[in-house]
Each structure stands twice: as C-alpha cells, then as structure tokens.
Amino acid sequence: MSQLFEFSDDREASSAARVRALEALLIEKGVIATDSVDVVLKHFETMAGPFNGAKIVARAWVDPDYARRLVEDTPKAIAELSLPLGMTGAEGEHMAAVANDANVHNLIICTLCSCYPWPVLGLPPYWYKDPVFRARGVREPRAVLQEFGVQVPATKEVKVWDSSAQIRWFVVPERPANTEHLSEEELAALVTPESMMGVALVEAPAA
Amino acid sequence: MFTRFEEYAAASMLGAPDSPPRLDGKLLFTNRWERDVFGLALSLSKAGCFEWEDFRQSLIASIAKWEAIECAKQPRWDYYERFLEALLNVVETSGVLSRREIEAIVAARSR
C-alpha cells in the first residue's frame, strides 16, 4: 500500500481526514468503541504523569511531617494523597524519593535501561536513555548539572541515584524562596519533571 | 515489566528510532489528528488486532522509507504522518481492514 501514500500539499488536512475516516470505519465495524481513543490516552493525560509528582512535592513543601514520611516510606506517603487509581501500586510500588536540601543535591539516572518512575514523572525525555548522559552522570555529575544550568556550590554534596527495576528514584526539589504566599496548588504548578530528576531547580514565579 | 499496556507500548518506543515526540513528561501532539492516530494504534493493539511490536516494526520501516528519500526531494519531517502510514500498513496486513477499505481511507479528503 506504500505507493498509495503520496505526499500532498495539504498534508495536515489529508492526514486529519484519513484519521477521521479510519476511526469512523473501525467504530462502524465494531473493532473499537467510540471512546477507545480517549480511554487509552487518558492514561497519559490524567493518570500517569508529572502532575502526580508535582502534587507530591507541593505537599512535602507545605507539610514537613509529610516530607519526612515521603523519604522514609515513599509508597505509603504517596498513598496518602488521592492520586488516580493505580498510580501508587504496580509500577509505582518501587518508587523512592530523595530530598534536596541545603547540604545535598540529588540527581537520578539509569545506567541499565530506561527505568523511570512513570506514575509520578510521566514519559522520560529523549536524553534520559542516552548512554553519554548516563555515563557522564555517574562520572562527572557536577559538570553535567552545570550544562543543564544547575550550579551546585562546592560545599554541597551531589548524590547520584541509579534507578533500576527494583527502585525508581525521584527527587523532591528545594522549595524556592519567596513562595510563602502561594497555595499548595500554585506551588505544584511550579514543579517541573526536570526538577524531579534533579537536572533543574524550581524557580519562583516572576514577580 | 509493565502491568499497563499503555506504559509497555510507550516504553518500548523510547530511545528507539520510533520514539514519539514528547514534552515535559507528556506526549506532544500539535494537532488533534496526531492524538487520535496515536490512540487508535494503542486501542487496536490493546484489543488484540495486532502485536504492538508488529506495529513498531511497521513504523520503523515507514520512518526508514522517509529517510531514504533524497534530501532535495524529502518532504518536511512529520512523525505522525509516518505513524499513520505505518498504522494503515499494519491494519491491512493484520486483516483488520481490507485493501479496498484502506484505499477509501487514503482517498479521504478534508471536509
């Protein structure tokens, strides 16, 4: 069928029309249901993703007791929050949080494969699986962090956590200064996936 | 070891030639049809119409076909256009739709 697929000038419109026709026919023939597409995408859009991690981090920022529990027993602490069903079990049960503070900056990598805490961070960026990032993350984490724009003072220790099928790490970044007036929800909006990997700091919103 | 089909499907593509565009931990769709075609591929494989790996191999072949085009004649890169071509191929080879039905879909024009 490859010869049927010519490149036309109105490519976007053609592709959109073809996808509509394909979906309509599959529904008409009963191969899929009318809501099948939305059901599978819901997983990435509302169930598993960095929005879960951001909620966890924001709770840790406003509640020091929660922050302590999160590091001590990550799955149990995550289960305290009302995250979408399934986000605390299965893939999530092997997750472990490490917290940045005045003395320590944490960086997560994976030297084996693409082990990654999906339920809280979503899909890893393309460079996470890059062998160079993984190798240099272990060998010279400070240089790698500097390239990401994160200057870690010499007085601060850098800890590198290697994720595996057994444990998938994520970072609780430091709460930025001058955010005392923000609500938990507003704080969550500041948290990026990169900050929960340790390759970025969380910035306060511009005044 | 993924317990959810959705995660297995997406994870198998990461770091591979068929890796989908993403931003800030989420899949990146710039048009509605891109989201729909991604969801269709997952839905069909989840329903048992074809193995996800068969779709991936079709997508890798479709990407390779674009790469083999001479630079001057190469159309602008469009990941989801490759994705749609790969899906139509696997839908036909797995017998979900007939060649005639695929031809009608390819002939579909915007309304």
pLDDT exceeds 60 at position B19: yes
CA of A27 to nearest chain B CA: how many angstroms apart?
11
Predicted confidence (pLDDT) per residue in A44-64, tens digit = 888 888 999 999 999 999 999
Q: Which of residues 37-96 of A touch B (CB under 8 A)?
A: 37-41, 43-45, 48-50, 86, 90-91
Give the closest-approach CA distance of A155 to chain B in angstroms. Answer: 30
Range of A75-79, B18-22, B92-96 with top mean pLDDT: B92-96
Other Cβ atoms less than 10 A from the Cβ of A71: the count is 14
DSSP B37-96: HHHHHHHHHHTTSS-HHHHHHHHHHHHHHHHTS-GGGPPPP-HHHHHHHHHHHHHHHTTS
Band (pLDDT 50/70/90 cuts) for residue A93 is low
B88-102 residue pLDDT tens: 999 999 999 999 999
Contact A121, A191 (CB under 8 A): no
* Domain B5-106, CATH among 1.10.472, 1.10.530, 1.10.3470, 2.60.40: 1.10.472
Average pLDDT, chain A: 89
Name chain A contacts of B49, Cβ cutoff 8 Å.
Answer: 31
pLDDT single digits (tens) A9-49 = 588 899 999 999 999 999 999 999 999 999 999 988 888 88
CA–CA separation, B85 and A80 (whole Å) = 45
Domain map of chain B by residue range?
5-106
| Closest CA of chain A from B30, distance in Å | 11
| Whole-angstrom distance, CA of residue A200 vs CA of residue B24 | 12
Q: pLDDT tens digits, residue range B4-16?
A: 788 888 888 887 8
B32 class by beta-carbon count within 10 Å (0-12 exposed, 13-18 middle, 19+ buried): exposed
Q: Which token pair is B19?
A: 């890796």
| Residue given tokens 């472990």 in the structure block | A96
Which residues 129-168 of A are in CB contact (within 8 Å) with B?
Answer: 129-130, 165
Facing residue for B36 by CB, picked from A37, A50, A193: A37
Q: Count of CB contacts below 8 A, A vs B?
A: 157
DSSP label at A173? P
pTM of the model: 0.83
Phi, psi of B96 (to 5 degrees): -70, -40
Tokens 């309304």 belong to residue: B111
Whole-angstrom distance, CA of residue A105 vs CA of residue B69? 47
Q: Which residue of A has its CA nearest to B92?
A: A1
Tokens found for residue B99: 């060649």
Q: Where are the beta strands (DSSP E) in chain A?
A: 95-99, 104-109, 157-162, 168-172
CA-based nearest residue to A180, from A205, A150, A152: A205
Cβ-defined contacts of B74-78 (< 8 Å, 24+):
B75/A7, B75/A11, B78/A11, B78/A15
Q: Which two tokens stand for residue B81?
A: 């256009």
* Whole-number pLDDT of residue A1: 46
Partners of residue B69 in chain A, C-beta under 8 Å:
none
Contact A91, A144 (CB under 8 A): no
The domains found in chain A, sorted by start residue, are 11-44 (no CATH), 49-188 (3.90.330.10)
- Residue A18 backbone phi and psi in degrees, to 5: -65, -40
Contact A82, A120 (CB under 8 A): no
Q: Least CA distance to A164: which residue of chain B? A: B1
Task: Tell me: pLDDT of A122 over 90.
Answer: no
Which DSSP helix (H) or strand (E) runs through A93? none
Q: Quick: pLDDT tens for A145-161.
A: 999 999 999 999 999 99
